[in-house]
Amino acid sequence: MAALINPSILSADFANLERDLQAIATADFAHVDVMDNHFVPNLTLGLPVLERLAKISPVPLDAHLMIEDPDRWAPAYAEAGAASVTFHAEAARAPVRLARELRRLGARAGVALRPATPVEPFLDLLAEVDMILVMTVEPGFGGQSFIEGTLPKIRRARQAVNGSGLDVRIQVDGGISRETIERAAEAGANVFVAGSAVYGAENIPGEIAALRELADAHAH
């Protein structure tokens, strides 16, 4: 599968989100980081904002919910128009029930793992999700550096997905740039979130194209 590049609007100008979504029209999805100041020590945006963004975005929304109690709150993000909804494994009480509910509502379902959360407990449940998000930084903030120690987990997830024959994407998020994307792709990731690398670039479409090219060159 061709690599997907999902810029994170966490690094966009929150007073100019429409303009900054237009700036990533050549990307695959816009990654929207929802933080509740409980699951992570930061607060961003919630449902009413995402609902408006879904209406005006040139690309579909990839919602990353860094929130407590996703069992209760995540389905509303699917109803609000997110094409993909990813909840954290550490916060979900009934991840299979939640993933099924998200799919029933027409969204792709993703499960996210903090750097220290093992992927193994989820490998028997691959049929229930469309994506595994391997966090490559501790969630909460943009601009952190890539944790190299997450690469073996990406490799193990890739082996399991390939062995299952299922179409489950592997997303990486945190510290992805021209310096790190090749290693993540080589390990088996095929969806790449990049916040500061894309929005910090002089030429945003050029940066998206450069990241895509590097990822595709190292894809499995």
Among 143, 149, 152, 163, binds ligand DX5 (CB under 6 A): 143
Residue 125 and residue 190: Cα distance in Å, rounded?
19
From ligand DX5, Zn ion, none, interface partner of 7 (C-beta below 5 to 8 A by class): none
Residue 146: CB minimum distance to ligand DX5, A? 8
Provide the minimum distance between the beta carbon of 127 and ligand DX5 in the complex, in angstroms, as a whole number: 26
DSSP state letters, 66-127: E-S-HHHHHHHHHHTT-SEEEEETTT-SSHHHHHHHHHHTT-EEEEEE-TTS-SGGGGGGGG
Residues assigned a catalytic role: 33, 173
Which range, of 102-110, 152-160, 191-199, 205-213, touches ligand DX5 by CB under 6 A?
Answer: 191-199
Query: Cβ closer to ligand DX5: 26 or 144?
Result: 144
End-to-end CA distance of the chain: 8
Cβ neighbours of residue 73 closer than 8 Å, sequence gap 6 or more: 65, 67
153 binds ligand DX5 (CB under 6 A): no
Residues near Zn ion (CB under 5 A) are 33, 64, 173
